[in-house]
Amino acid sequence: MPAVVLDPRQTLEFERPIVELENKIAELRQLGGPTLDLEIRRLERKARALQQEVFADLSPWQKVLLSRHPLRPFTLDYVGRLIEGFIELHGDRAFRDDEAIVGGVGRLRGRPVMILGHQKGRGTKENVRRNFGMPRPEGYRKARRLMELAARLGLPILTFIDTPGAYPGIDAEERGQAEAIAKNLEVMSRLPVPIIATVIGEGGSGGALALSVADRINMLEYAVYSVISPEGCASILWKDQKQVETAAREMRMTAADLVELGVADRALPEPSGGAHRDPELAAERVADAIMEDLAVLDKLSVDERLEARYAKYRAMGSFSDEGP
């Protein structure tokens, strides 16, 4: 149960009945008194059962909505919980700093690492500053600079993916958005240090892929990863925004689907009700997965890692059509 009353304005439609029950429980606890204990326990059982029922059968579109939840932990939330001595590094040394991508050095459970990730904002002011998590070319060039620094220092690279996509504005195109993303793909494919990508929310288009060429790709249970948003797909294929649920289903963009398709390596279970319900537990599960992956990757030589990385991406999208 959450320790604070949740704002119904920051809940999704399908989780609203759960939140209303939990807020009722919080109100009864504030009133106190032994006469209310029985009613509180009854409502707690009802809330747990309702949450299990709702989250046992989420549609792909509902998982898309969860990946965008306004209270979902962002990259800096994970950094704050997991990384000791984090020092943020800024700028691409060519144009300016892009706050839609954050990066820096720190220690994960005592091990020095380089951390990079998309960063969205909370509230209008911060979202404008972070450009709603949509990086411009200078963001990707900053990321490349820091990844190359990590390679020189021998630091594993940990990336956190959470973006609707790269910023499509004219200024970004004028400064070489496509080239900046393509260069990241090239550089990441040959970096000698271990690279582990974790999709923590939305993984949208080339804007996500630019930080995702990795030895391991993990996805949180309610994260999504795709070449286009369901809204964009519905607009192109059906010319109808009402088809977003169909698009989300047909695109197979959920963690379970992508593990099955071989795009992601594993889906990390989220706390009951989603990562926003227990960010501390979500962060610990992400850290556990990263440390497990590093233990495996550390046993490989540089050549073995690079060959496996190359084979991993060459195999994506392959299929056989033997015919009748």
**CATH code at position 288:** 3.90.226.10
Residues 126 and 257 in one domain: yes
**Chain centroid, CA 316 distance in Å:** 20
Residues 53 and 73 in one domain: no
Boundary of a domain, candidates 41, 57, 73 = 57
Give the per-residue pLDDT at 4: 42
Residues 195 and 240 in one domain: yes
Residues 93 and 37 in one domain: no
Dihedral in degrees, nearest 10, Cα atoms 297, 298, 302, 308: -10
Residues 74 and 49 in one domain: no
Least confident window among 38-42, 96-100, 130-134, 270-274: 38-42
pTM: 0.91
Residues 12 and 73 in one domain: no
Query: What's the mean pLDDT when you consider all of the chain?
Result: 92
**Average pLDDT, integer, range 56-60:** 91
Task: Report if residue 239 sits inside a domain.
Answer: yes
Residues 43 and 71 in one domain: no
Residues 224 and 296 in one domain: yes
Q: Taking Cα atoms as reference points, which of 260, 275, 166, 248 lies closest to residue 211? A: 166
Say if residues 103 and 143 touch (Cβ distance below 8 Å): yes
Give the per-residue pLDDT at 87: 98
Domain hosting 276: range is 64-315
Tokens (6 digits) for 140: 């990707």
Number of domains in the chain: 2
Q: How confident is the model at residue 6 (pLDDT cuts 50, 70, 90)?
A: low
Residues in contact with 155: Cβ distance below 8 Å, sequence separation at least 6, in sequence order: 105, 112, 113, 114, 193
**Average pLDDT, integer, range 231-238:** 93
Q: How confident is the model at residue 2 (pLDDT cuts 50, 70, 90)?
A: very low
Residues 93 and 44 in one domain: no
Q: How confident is the model at residue 207 (pLDDT cuts 50, 70, 90)?
A: very high
Q: What is the pLDDT of residues 91-113, one digit of tens each?
A: 999 999 999 999 999 999 999 99
Residues 135 and 213 in one domain: yes
Task: Report if residue 1 sits inside a domain.
Answer: no
Residues 40 and 95 in one domain: no
Say if residues 155 and 108 touch (Cβ distance below 8 Å): no
Q: Where are the alpha helices (DSSP H) in the chain?
A: 16-31, 37-55, 60-67, 75-82, 124-129, 137-153, 170-174, 177-190, 205-209, 230-237, 244-251, 255-261, 279-297, 302-315
Measured from the Cβ of residue 43, the count of other Cβ atoms closer than 10 Å reads 17
Measured from the Cβ of residue 292, the count of other Cβ atoms closer than 10 Å reads 14
Q: What is the pLDDT of residues 151-188, one digit of tens each?
A: 999 999 999 999 999 999 999 999 999 999 999 999 99
Q: What is the pLDDT of residues 243-286, one digit of tens each?
A: 999 999 999 999 999 999 999 999 999 998 999 999 999 999 99
DSSP 139-201: HHHHHHHHHHHHHHHT--EEEEEEES-S---HHHHHTTHHHHHHHHHHHHHH-SS-EEEEEEE
Beta bridge partners of 118: 101
Is residue 322 over pLDDT 80?
no
